[in-house]
Structure 1
Amino acid sequence: MTARPDASRSLRRALAALLIFVGIGGIAGGIGLVSDPSGAAVGMSTDALRGSPFPDYRVPGLVLLLVNGVGSIAAGVLALRRPRLGPRVGLAFGGVLIAWIAIQVAIIGLIHWLQPAYLGLGTLECVLALALLPVPTRPEDPAARARRPAALRLVLVLLGFLGLTALGGGIEMLVYPHGSPYVPAAWLDGLPLVDSWRVPGLILGGGLGLGSLLVGYGLLRRPRWRWLDGLERRTRHHGSWLGTMLLGAGLVAWIGVELVLIPERSAIEALYAAIGVALVLLPWAPSVRQHLEPRRS
């Protein structure tokens, strides 16, 4: 399946605009940090750098200026002028932006709404870039068509892991609605609208847990679900393709709510955030898109 030329042009322009927008922000932020390494000019303090290899913001500012700033603008120009090279460069810079935010949160913590916003922009850059990559021709050999690509096998592993662990976590919340060693009752103080773990447990176990296992089954067996025919005609992929991305976005949102409302931090949050981003991105891999094209009757 090849995207229509007008659709490809629109995607390419959107990718270029996004890269240039991020680049302008990177240049502005980088200049602010390099000109005032204390961070005061951009509302930051070197206290956040304790435990990091940097005494001030000069080096991070240079990286921000040159890579996420100038580099991102150059990538945006390439996305417009070099249709074949542009998506690959855009994918690389989207990955760099995701890594930049991940490293930033690991060192200084989640201190500003712009961090998750730019994580979303980096993810969107990767999605647009992957959508512009050509999908290989569907093989004629039935055995080759049935063979699952490596990216799809990785998605299945991630969904299986997420499904089992989220289902287990949800069951624990339902069995111990007023707290347990893993989900203390004290954390409920920061949660609005609920006074027990029942509702979060239903969302975690039912939505992310059972939902992941159901979508994983859909990817594995590709059953014909007639109630999804309209959706599949629109997306031109099996319904589990979109389901995987929705689960990834839901997982990222779940972790975001945790970061805002629950005081304690854990490396497990970073792991699940990475899984969420991967579940949003991997369905756009050309090999996965080809494999999940609707079967011809």
Structure 2
Amino acid sequence: MTTARTRATMRLLATFESLLAASAVYGGVSLIARAPGFAMPVEWLAPLGLTSWVLPGFALVLVVGGSLAAASVFAWRSDFRAPAAALAAGAVLTGWLAIQFGVIGVRAPVQWVTVGLLAVLIGLALLARHRLVAS
């Protein structure tokens, strides 16, 4: 039996994950479509041997957005696995950022905003785990 505080924490985690997943999908689709503000030089991708932003866009949608969306399903259901799924999605996002920083470097403030959002995700996952154990 979960408490009202646990359910509220799970809803907060689910909402946050859903918004983050939607942002990843938006960013990925925008990279693929070369939308204004997302048309970055392909020279930045030279270390990966890529000649367009299509593959990174698909990866952002499927890998980052997909892992966050899957984690949000656990949280929306108040499933006991939700904190672990959130931490796994956080690990995926951490890997994404590590590769991004390693390949293209620090190029935009949104990269640091994403690091901050990752910290919030991890904090919410740990809070949800604590609340589940305590309930």
TM-score interval, normalised by the smaller of the two chains: 0.7 to 0.9
2:124 paired residue among 264, 279, 282: 282
Partners in 2 of 1:279 and 1:196 — Cα distance?
30
The match for 1:243 is 85
Partners in 2 of 1:183 and 1:249 — Cα distance?
27
Name the CA shift for 1:147/1:209 in 2 (closer, same or farther; >3 Å). same
2:108 paired residue among 266, 274, 277: 266
Matches within 5 A, 1:224-239: 237-238=80-81
The match for 2:31 is 173
Q: Do the aligned partners of 2:44 and 2:103 also contact (CA within 8 Å) in 1?
A: no
Q: Do the aligned partners of 2:42 and 2:53 also contact (CA within 8 Å) in 1?
A: no
Name the CA shift for 1:254/1:155 in 2 (closer, same or farther; >3 Å). same
Q: Do the aligned partners of 2:86 and 2:121 also contact (CA within 8 Å) in 1?
A: yes
Matches within 5 A, 1:187-202: 187-202=43-58
Partners in 1 of 2:37 and 2:49 — Cα distance?
22
Does residue 155 of structure 1 match 2:19? no
Give the paired residue count.
133
SS at match of 2:7: coil
State which structure, 1 or 2, has the greater radius of gyration over its C-alpha atoms: 1
- 1:17-41 deviations in Å (ceiling 9; x for gaps): xxxxxxxxxxxxxxxxxxxxxxxxx
More helix by share: 2
SS at match of 1:148: helix
Residue 206 of structure 1 aligns to which amino acid in structure 2?
L
- 1:117-148 deviations in Å (ceiling 9; x for gaps): xxxxxxxxxxxxxxxxxxxxx56xxxx46961
Name the CA shift for 1:190/1:242 in 2 (closer, same or farther; >3 Å). same
Scaled by the length of structure 1, the TM-score of the pair is 0.39
Does residue 213 of structure 1 match 2:69? yes
The match for 2:98 is 256
Q: CA deviation at 1:167?
A: 0.4
Q: CA deviation at 1:275?
A: 1.9
Residue 207 of structure 1 aligns to which amino acid in structure 2?
V
Q: Do the aligned partners of 1:171 and 1:205 also contact (CA within 8 Å) in 2?
A: yes
Name the CA shift for 1:174/1:149 in 2 (closer, same or farther; >3 Å). same
The match for 1:30 is none
- 1:65-105 deviations in Å (ceiling 9; x for gaps): xxxxxxxxxxxxxxxxxxxxxxxxxxxxxxxxxxxxxxxxx
SS at match of 2:48: coil
Q: CA deviation at 1:172?
A: 1.9
Q: Do the aligned partners of 2:6 and 2:132 also contact (CA within 8 Å) in 1?
A: no
Matches within 5 A, 1:95-110: none
Name the CA shift for 1:268/1:288 in 2 (closer, same or farther; >3 Å). farther
Q: Do the aligned partners of 2:11 and 2:75 also contact (CA within 8 Å) in 1?
A: no
Q: CA deviation at 1:249?
A: 1.5
Partners in 2 of 1:202 and 1:241 — Cα distance?
26
Structure having greater relative contact order (Cα 8 Å, sep ≥ 6): 2
Name the CA shift for 1:147/1:260 in 2 (closer, same or farther; >3 Å). closer
* Segments ≥4 residues shifted beyond 6 Å: none
Q: CA deviation at 1:222?
A: 4.3
Name stretches of at least 5 consecutive residues in structure 2 with no aligned partner. none
Q: CA deviation at 1:206?
A: 1.0
